[in-house]
Amino acid sequence: MAEEVDTWGKARKAADDLYELRDTFFPQNPDDKASKLQQESDLALKLLDSIPPEQRKLPVERATYQYLRGKILDVVPDYRKEAEDHLSKAVKLNPSLADAWLCLGNCIWKKGDLPSAKNCFNLALSKGANKNILCQLSMLERKMAQGAENQSQMVEESIQHAKEAISLDVKDGNSWYNMGNACLTSFFVTGAWDHSKLLQSLKAYQNAEKDERMKSNPDLYFNCATVNKYLENYDRALSGFEAAALKDPSLNASEEVEKMLNLLDKLENLLRGHGRAKRLASFASTISRVNLNPSYKRTTLDVLSEGLNKAVAVLGKVVLFVKHENITPLYFLVCDSNQSCFVLSVYGICNDAIKEGDQLTLLEPYFHHVDFSWRGKHHQFKSIRVDFVEQVLVNGKVLPPHQAIHTSIYAQHKP
């Protein structure tokens, strides 16, 4: 009996080790990974088939055999009908086998049948609360949200399932990672303006990093760097993208580093080029008074505090629209009434909402003094960001609703 249990145990471990290899092995050449997975998959199937036929007679044993065979075959990225057939047999033989329902859902997802995959995950979940199933369901809901009419609602459901997974094991890094992805997706689905979603996402990723097992996940570093990029924590973003590139060379993390360095260089060069006193004096002299709500105090760049500045307004003229490679945010060079030139980043608005020469009133601006060194080069400039369309008055008027972004923009991260 002990020998029989040991044989099944070895087969289970071989299948689990195969998925561990899939999630942690990232060679320079992706073909090497495919080759290694195929090699280890063949060995795992050989071990599974070594279980004597007399140990595969009972329905439960036959179901376990079909489940493990399907799981091993499904380790590759592409859909395999053979894997689906074995997993389907497993759940028919033993409908209470939650892991088989989970694997079947993942397999069916690959062929694009998302509703059926969700049904499998829900059936798996009906056998009992499970953090892995909840994470997969959360991830699938984000995938299904793309292009759907009720995007925001579906992403909110994804967040709720992510929270449920965390509640089952507050120390599980993968659950926190999934929560970070859900909040980051929510940021884009709602029009790339909700600063709080970025902060929630960053906190979740930081909690994920506390789990030693997550240190082998390059996507965690990439996605956390993506959040820091949008929070304009440029030094942390650069470090994160570089770490992701080292862990998985196939990610476009190195390109993200170069794009960010190019953007920083461009912003600093433009600030220097447009910082001539005569030119700025001309812009500053055309800034006219606007009727502000009495609760706001008019101020200038030089007296802003780091972070959110409540109950204040900065008036300025748009000197230049800065073209760059990313979709969001929009960058502008702006001059205030004191002839101070700064970088303005605006989220959640259309490209043509603000034009060069427009007068802006920035309500409750978020001020950041960018000041860090990277690879021996010092980067330094002053920046204001605004997250809500209502925080920007253009030529004294609130932007009309059609200028806000309502279509979803998905980040370059794995969901």
Query: What average pLDDT is seen over the chain?
Result: 90
46 vs 148, higher pLDDT: 46
253-273 and 218-230 helices, crossing angle to 10°: 20
Q: What are the tokens at 44?
A: 């795992």
Distance CA 195, CA 328 (A): 13
**From-to residues of CATH 1.25.40.10 in the chain:** 2-213
Q: Would you state the pLDDT for residue 407?
A: 40
The pLDDT tens digits for 68-97 are 999 999 999 999 999 999 999 999 999 999
The pLDDT tens digits for 245-266 are 999 998 989 999 999 999 999 9
**From-to residues of CATH 2.40.50.550 in the chain:** 276-403
Position 325 confidence tier, pLDDT thresholds 50, 70, 90: confident
C-alpha 342 chain-centroid distance: 28
The fold adopted by the segment(s) 276-403 is: OB fold (Dihydrolipoamide Acetyltransferase, E2P) (2.40.50)
What are φ and ψ of residue 59, in 5° steps?
-55, -40
367 vs 325, higher pLDDT: 367
Position 282 confidence tier, pLDDT thresholds 50, 70, 90: confident
294-311 average pLDDT score:
93
Distance CA 18, CA 41 (A): 7
Q: Would you state the pLDDT for residue 350?
A: 78
Give the torsion sign (CA, 20, 242, 237, 262). Answer: negative
Q: In the beta sheet, which residues pair with residue 299? A: 314
Above 70 in pLDDT, residue 208?
yes
Position 349 confidence tier, pLDDT thresholds 50, 70, 90: confident
Q: Would you state the pLDDT for residue 2?
A: 52
Q: Would you state the pLDDT for residue 373?
A: 95
278-304 average pLDDT score:
86
Contacts of 118 (CB under 8 A, 6+ apart): 105, 137, 140, 141, 144
Contacts of 228 (CB under 8 A, 6+ apart): 202, 234, 236, 237, 240
The pLDDT tens digits for 52-72 are 999 999 999 999 999 999 999
224-235 average pLDDT score:
94
Position 22 confidence tier, pLDDT thresholds 50, 70, 90: very high
Above 80 in pLDDT, residue 415?
no
Q: pTM value?
A: 0.90
Considering the domain 2-213 in this protein, what is its CATH number?
1.25.40.10
Q: Would you state the pLDDT for residue 353?
A: 86
- Could you tell me the maximum CA-CA distance found in the chain, to the nearest angstrom? 92
Q: Would you state the pLDDT for residue 60?
A: 94
Highest mean pLDDT among 317-321, 325-329, 401-405: 317-321
Q: Would you state the pLDDT for residue 4?
A: 55
Share of the chain above pLDDT 70, in %: 93
Position 412 confidence tier, pLDDT thresholds 50, 70, 90: very low
Q: Would you state the pLDDT for residue 58?
A: 93
303-326 average pLDDT score:
92
Above 50 in pLDDT, residue 413?
no
Q: Would you state the pLDDT for residue 402?
A: 53
